Amino acid sequence: MAMAGGLTILAAMPKVELHAQLDALRQDSRFIFDAASSNLMEVRLGQAAQSKASNPAVKQFGQQMVTDHTNLQNQLTATISRSGTQFKPGMTDDHEDEVERLEKLSGSDFDREYMTAMLQHHQRDVATFQSMSSSARSAQGRQIATTGLPVLQRHLSMASQVAPQVGINTGVAVTNPTQNPPVTQNPPVVTQ
């Protein structure tokens, strides 16, 4: 039995193969734990949205987050478990703080803050999952990234559609001095 950043590998395999798998999982463990933590946060916040949001589109978006991130978490856990690894996911302190902050809000305040957070988190997650889909060292890390990426991209698109309904401007043009004309890139979220 060997430990890789909190992942316990139990599979019986030749020592060289075990070492290679352990090293790959160790290198990907931060991504795997962050993905699991993000899923748990999205589920909790989606549940909060269903009871605290005032806008029906925000409530519906929250329900979709609960459904999809529960599925992603189940897939992530199954992927790690198939490798003979015990996995006990939890939320990071930052994610826990975000949940606690948003759970204190309700109505239109919740709607704006929640959708702002969803845009920001999904922009970051899409970029991370795009990168990890090709750069992850372990097969498990690559599978988690490639399975999750289309779901996260869809969530970002959905959030971009719901956000203007609660007063969030998502269409900020970003000028790159080396390009003509200005290009809109995953813009920062601006509340009105």
Q: What is the pLDDT of residues 113-124, one digit of tens each?
A: 999 999 999 999
What is the rounded average pLDDT of the residues 146-173? Answer: 90
pLDDT at position 172, please? 39
| Residue 132: closest CA among 49, 54, 38 | 38
Give me the residues paired with residue 174 across strands. Answer: 183
176 pLDDT higher than 60: no
Q: Of the candidates 148, 135, 155, which has an alpha carbon nearest to the alpha carbon of residue 77? A: 148
- Interval 74-104: pLDDT, tens: 999 999 888 777 788 999 999 999 999 999 9
The two three-digit tokens of residue 138, written as one number? 């372990």
Question: CA torsion angle for 76, 93, 131, 78 (degrees, to 10)?
Answer: -10
pLDDT at 181: 39
What is the per-residue DSSP string for 102-133?
HHT--HHHHHHHHHHHHHHHHHHHHHHHHHHH
Neighbours of 157 (CB within 10 A): 12
State residue 51's pLDDT score.
97
Displacement of CA 32 from its chain's centroid (Å): 10
